[in-house]
Structure 1
Amino acid sequence: MESPELEHLREIALTLKLDPTGSIGHAASVSDVIQVLSGVKESYRNFLKIALSKKFPEIENLDLEVDDFVSRTELLIVDTKFSSYQNSIAPNVQDNIYSLFGNSEEFSTQEQIFDDYKDQVIYSDVNNYQDLQTLKKKYSAVERQMIFEPLFKASSNKKFNVFVWEGKKEKRKIIKPRTEFQTYFKVPKINKIEIPAKYYQFYARVSESGDIINKNSIKDIVYYEALEHETYPFKPDVLTFGKYVFKLKKKLECSVHFEDDLYFIENENLDVTVWAKTREDVEKAFNFEFYSLYVNYALEFDDNLTDKAISLKNKILSLIETVYEK
């Protein structure tokens, strides 16, 4: 005669069936069985931790006590059939009044927690909007991922289907949520808050390293000050516009200032002043202006230019070492 304890375990158990799609006699491989059972075990352990943490938020060192409880709450395989792979899983409830925190009447027993796990997790429909709203209210995104992700991984295999029974109701397949519902089981990515960049002007003592200065060559910063706007120097030795690249013989000294919400770049020698809303745009405007001077003056015949224009043409040509197309 079967023991009452075993009969009780079968009453509270969760019945799982792993049904391979291409094997002989629908027999399940050991690795597939391990995958499914491991997924269920991990999901249930996470559920236990979350349930106990919610029940006793005021207790210090709860994590250690919860880990001890979880380690003592093993799931048992109650019954097994060879056809496909069907088994029943139940918690070890030999001492049904066992409580991690003494004989507290408020504390849910292992059996009650397992029933909650079946009702709230296993039997919930991850493609039913109402069920999803219930899960969303009860568990945070992190908790939903901890509980459900192991189940989804365990059953997401084209080689077999996994079914469960809710009492004697029809079997339902454990599946992943549809695309539009997957965000319910994903922890939202936290967008990094970009800290605005601040510009500094500084003077440093560096080791002799040619024209290239890197962080390792800086020996000491002797002076620095923060810039309210991006008014750091503009001294280009290469200017680019469209397909044209102008390599200059030396750096072109320009002044930069910010006024009335606009950036200005000036070069007195070429009598050029440009402005724009941003530092990037004002540099582009200067490049365009230099290109225009080159096309309209440097490439023009002297006979078509005034004396003042010829002087400007010579200034431009004296600055340029070479011009080439990209």
Structure 2
Amino acid sequence: MKRYFASLLLLFALTPYSYAQNKPMEVPLYPQNKVPGNLPGPNDEKSESGGGILRVSKIKIPTLTAYLPPADKANGTAVIICPGGGYSIVAIDHEGFKVAEKFNEMGVAAFVLKYRIPDTKNQEDPSIAPLQDAQQAILTVRTNAKKWNIDPARIGIMGFSAGGHLASTAGTHFERSLVNNPGNISVRPDFMLLIYPVISADIAITHSGSFKNLLGNNASAEQLLLYSNEKQVTTKTPPAFLVHASDDGGVSPNNSIVFYQALLKNKIPAELHIYQNGGHGFGMHNPTTKDEWMERCKNWLNGNGWLKAQ
């Protein structure tokens, strides 16, 4: 256990981050790529571009790409970004890298998580693999907070679409750590940013494809309830900022609405923005309006004190 923790620290102590040039650096999420629950076999990951979207599929070895703002601009806040893709692919550019660059402009450190795609060929329990990766990302950033000029109490998580389901799962399932955590470091994010998120398994509003990819075709009622994250909100759930479009034909806006209602019921600070139009998967820029939701997100972060210099 101690050897694992020491390896984790050593990995990031030796990682050649280009602080002066502030260049992003992709590193293995787990020390020596010892990924928990992975089965033996080839790594068939592939990347494809089409329609202006970079899609990464068949992810077996998760990584974390760090975008660190200049030291004189950093305010101590960090965000771990989970791109969407229905738990089938990861749309890593317009819902990942570009978003990270925008956060750097705010003085926020950003970390793009390339999480595992659930697959019975690759994992013993595919249903927990993405959550393990999200928890490991939080653990990694929190462990290295001092070195990366981050306040360990100001680490949030962000997710788009199915990545929003993963982010909201991290924000509601943190009581049980699913990764090796000998230091018992908290894996609770301090806030959530959920953009057109998948939330609920309720048949009336669910995105069935995401749940099938995560839980399989024969998920039990108990599993569906467990991963219906509006049902898992408590008074310990972190604050949240949500964005959706009324005409989203991929993921019903009711996913954001029921989660927002659950937050209000538990007196959790929350803000919800629903645009009249925009559809699904618009990333940072909703083409149907001049309004930029990232500016609203910036205002929300600032209003809660997360953009103030530490």
Instruction: Check whether TM > 0.5.
Output: no
Q: Which of the pair has more CA radius of gyration?
A: 1
Q: Tell me the TM-score normalized by structure 2.
A: 0.25
Decide which structure has greater helix share. 1
With a CA cutoff of 8 Å and minimum separation of 6, indicate the structure with the bigger relative contact order: 2
